[in-house]
């Protein structure tokens, strides 16, 4: 961490190159791992890493070199999500920097704190279309929380320190630093302190840090809660970012309020808790979506009413008053008008409300009974008599083995939704997925970053054949560094979610989504990259034993399971549809026993 105002840095006043200053600040900020790929414009900094590790006397910085820079960005994100610390990627100029655009935008969309340091051509060559030059500042400004182009070498040290501060503070996000090669080579005096004077940001941040739920706000909130007969907590990734999982659980249990979570909010509430209704939204559980339709007070904490949740906004929680807690004031009222709100940290807000409500008694027994019946009547299910292996049964069996204690990452597609629906998560920071951007190829590199951030934990990448192809080269990274990630590939020989949409909305014209003619042998590829455990399962009777062996293997392990191409994800709220039009498919009961029904009028039952 940065040194306090009254503590002089032990190396203050020493002469260093800009590259050496960056590595010193990185160390001060608590970085123990750099994910990155070298190149000409960043070579001075890579040399500084080498020298640091040669001279550091027991405090080396772990350097992980991926197959490409996109992998580095996603590894940094996986590390950040598991540890709660800022992840760091270090890449070169031009294509090295542009290869990180996707993970930067992904981190911005899911509020993940990473810093990406890019080499840049020398200042005298900037703007001349020099070799491996790209306009990083212009490109990244549209994607990141903040971007710095270091033009003044005297500001380099403070810039790096400020980047980490911005990435982790307020609503977390990615910060990019573009550092010309001559700035890295410049020799100057290390000060050991100081930030770039971004007065407006610091003022807003100070306001957020001081923001607490007032007595008047608390009174109004509990008036709404006491008047409500059917309250529901709608919980997003902001709860996990603020480390408010304990407070959220205490709040739900104290006031006996059931909980639905967004895709990125999974793990905030123990999914095995009776109060947890799991994920809501486009592919949320039927009972979660029915509960949203039935509730009369929706309490949103750290969630933003995105399109995969709110769908048709004026029909989302149409019968409910809305209370909204979020650290980003721009999210308040952006999609849904609210009846009560608080802008501030979720952990602090829930703590304040728990204190203010310690003498408040609520009785939601009838609502909880109703919700329990929803869970029983509309439980997740699938074709258990199918000839082919179903992806859901693979994950159910995996869940029996892991018992909700594994760290799970995913690619993007059907396997992602099946994992969200059928796996348990007992703690926050154990579910890592690309939520808002939906980036295929996220699963494997993020699993590597997660495993490095949580050594000794079981980390499993649940992936699809289409998604894993995007960053398949990172299999070698697992074996090169001995990272014991477990890769579970659900291979349906196609882009499953696209196939599902083409089946429903495009007359089963599978344009570009059929991978049955592809020649990739994933097991052979894993073996070629050094995986000692690499197996394929094609028969149901082999599944259980293979999964147990896969999970228990000590090193990196790869297990491919061939699954039914036409096992679709249900429930499904189609484009332009409300929850009342939710399609539950042939194996999940809807309210009328058919495919959909408008929300029941239950107001007289409570």
pTM: 0.95
Q: What is the pLDDT of residue 596?
A: 38
In a domain? residue 174 = yes
| 361/448 same-domain check | no
| 405/426 same-domain check | yes
For the stretch 181-220, pLDDT in tens is 999 999 999 999 999 999 999 999 999 999 999 999 999 9
Please give the structure tokens belonging to residue 550.
């896969």
Q: What's the mean pLDDT in 436-460?
A: 97
For the stretch 1-28, pLDDT in tens is 444 556 899 999 999 999 999 999 999 9
Concatenated DSSP letters of 422-464: H----STT-EE---SS--TT-HHHHHHHHHHHSTTS-EEEEEE
Q: Which of 85, 145, 181, 515 is catalytic?
A: 181
In a domain? residue 52 = yes
- Residue 602: which pLDDT band, with cuts at 50, 70 and 90? low
Q: Does the active-site annotation cover 497?
A: yes
CATH number, domain of 422, equals 3.40.50.970
Q: Identify the domain boundary among 156, 188, 208.
A: 208
Do the Cβ atoms of 165 and 196 come closer than 8 Å? Answer: no
User: By C-alpha distance, which of 599, 606, 593 is closest to 581?
Assistant: 599
CA 483-488-493 angle, to 5 degrees, is 135
Instruction: Kindly give, in sequence order, each residue whose CB lies less than 8 Å from that of residue 467, ignoring residues fewer than 6 positions away.
Output: 410, 411, 412, 413, 415, 416, 440, 441, 442, 443
Q: Which of 14, 132, 217, 577 is catalytic?
A: 132
In a domain? residue 223 = yes
Q: Which of 16, 21, 282, 497 is catalytic?
A: 497
Share of the chain above pLDDT 90, in %: 94
- Residue 59: which pLDDT band, with cuts at 50, 70 and 90? confident
For the stretch 139-190, pLDDT in tens is 999 999 999 999 999 999 999 999 999 999 999 999 999 999 999 999 999 9
| 238/271 same-domain check | yes
In a domain? residue 3 = no
The domain of 129 spans: 15-208
Please give the structure tokens belonging to residue 326.
């979020």
What does the alpha-carbon distance between residue 55 and residue 57 come to, in Å, rounded to a whole number? 6
| 278/237 same-domain check | yes
| 439/487 same-domain check | yes
| 247/155 same-domain check | no
DSSP three-state, residue 33? strand
Q: Which of 69, 247, 393, 474 is catalytic?
A: 69
Concatenated DSSP letters of 266-323: TTSS-TTSTTEEEE-STTS-HHHHHHHHH-SEEEEES----HHHHSSGGGTTTTSEEE
Concatenated DSSP letters of 241-258: HTT-HHHHHHHHHHHT--
| 360/315 same-domain check | yes
Do the Cβ atoms of 414 and 568 come closer than 8 Å? Answer: yes
| 54/155 same-domain check | yes
| 342/412 same-domain check | no
Please give the structure tokens belonging to residue 501.
């949409």
Q: Does the active-site annotation cover 132?
A: yes
| 438/483 same-domain check | yes
Q: What is the pLDDT of residue 595?
A: 41
In a domain? residue 491 = yes
Q: Does the active-site annotation cover 131?
A: yes
Q: Which of 131, 403, 506, 545 is catalytic?
A: 131
In a domain? residue 425 = yes
Q: What is the pLDDT of residue 603?
A: 56
For the stretch 93-107, pLDDT in tens is 999 999 999 999 999
The count of structural domains within the chain is 3
Q: What's the mean pLDDT in 575-592?
A: 93
What does the alpha-carbon distance between residue 147 and residue 161 come to, in Å, rounded to a whole number? 13
């Amino acid at each position: 961490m940065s040194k306090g105002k009254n503590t002089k840095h032990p190396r203050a006043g020493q002469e260093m190159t800009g590259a050496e200053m960056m590595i010193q600040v990185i160390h001060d900020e608590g970085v123990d791992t750099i994910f990155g790929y070298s190149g000409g414009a960043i070579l001075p900094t890579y040399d500084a890493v080498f020298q640091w590790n040669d001279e550091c006397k027991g405090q080396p910085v772990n350097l992980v070199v991926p197959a490409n820079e996109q992998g580095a960005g996603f590894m940094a994100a996986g590390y950040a999500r598991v540890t709660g610390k800022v992840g760091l990627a270090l890449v070169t100029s031009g294509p090295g920097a542009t290869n990180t655009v996707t993970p930067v935008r992904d981190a911005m969309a899911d509020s993940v704190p990473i810093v990406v340091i890019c080499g840049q051509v020398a200042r005298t060559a900037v703007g001349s279309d020099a070799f491996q030059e790209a306009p990083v500042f212009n490109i990244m400004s549209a994607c990141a929380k903040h971007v710095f182009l270091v033009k003044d070498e005297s500001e380099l040290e403070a810039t790096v320190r400020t980047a980490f501060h911005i990435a982790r503070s307020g609503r977390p996000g990615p910060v990019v630093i573009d550092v010309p090669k001559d700035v890295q080579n410049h020799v100057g005096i290390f000060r050991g302190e100081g930030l770039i004077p971004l007065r407006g940001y610091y003022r807003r941040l100070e306001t957020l840090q001081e923001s607490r739920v007032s007595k008047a706000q608390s009174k109004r909130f509990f008036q709404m809660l006491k008047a409500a007969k059917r309250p529901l907590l709608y919980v997003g990734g902001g709860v996990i970012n603020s480390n408010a999982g304990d407070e959220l659980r205490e709040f739900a249990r104290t006031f006996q309020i059931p909980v639905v979570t967004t895709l990125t909010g999974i793990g905030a509430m123990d999914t095995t808790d009776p109060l947890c209704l799991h994920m809501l939204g486009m592919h949320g559980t039927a009972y979660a979506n029915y509960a949203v339709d039935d509730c009369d007070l929706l309490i949103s904490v750290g969630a933003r009413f995105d399109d995969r949740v709110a769908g048709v906004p004026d029909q989302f929680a149409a019968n409910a008053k809305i209370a909204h807690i979020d650290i980003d004031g721009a999210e308040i009222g952006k999609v849904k008008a609210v009846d009560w709100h608080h802008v501030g940290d979720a952990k602090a807000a829930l703590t304040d409300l728990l204190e203010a409500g310690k003498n408040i008694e609520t009785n939601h027994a009838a609502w909880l009974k109703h919700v329990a019946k929803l869970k029983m009547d509309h439980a997740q299910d699938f074709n258990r008599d199918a000839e082919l292996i179903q992806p859901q049964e693979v994950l159910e069996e995996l869940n029996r083995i892991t018992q909700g204690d594994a760290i799970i990452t995913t690619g993007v597609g059907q396997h992602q939704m099946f994992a969200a629906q059928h796996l348990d998560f007992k703690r926050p920071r154990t579910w890592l997925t690309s939520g808002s951007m939906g980036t295929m190829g996220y699963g494997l590199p993020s699993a590597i970053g997660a495993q490095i951030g949580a050594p000794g934990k079981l980390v499993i990448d649940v992936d699809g054949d289409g998604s894993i192809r995007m960053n398949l080269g990172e299999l070698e990274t697992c074996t090169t560094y001995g990272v014991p990630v477990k890769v579970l590939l659900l291979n349906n020989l196609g882009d499953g979610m696209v196939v599902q949409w083409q089946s429903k909305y495009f007359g089963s014209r599978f344009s570009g989504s059929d991978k049955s003619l592809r020649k990739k042998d994933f097991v052979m590829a894993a073996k070629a990259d050094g995986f000692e455990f690499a197996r394929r399962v094609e028969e149901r009777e082999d599944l259980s034993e293979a999964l147990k062996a896969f999970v228990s293997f000590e090193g990196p392990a790869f297990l491919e399971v061939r699954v039914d191409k036409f096992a679709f994800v249900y429930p499904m709220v189609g484009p332009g549809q409300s929850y009342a039009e939710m399609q539950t498919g042939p194996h999940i009961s809807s309210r009328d026993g058919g495919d959909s029904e408008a929300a029941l009028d239950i107001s007289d039952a409570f």
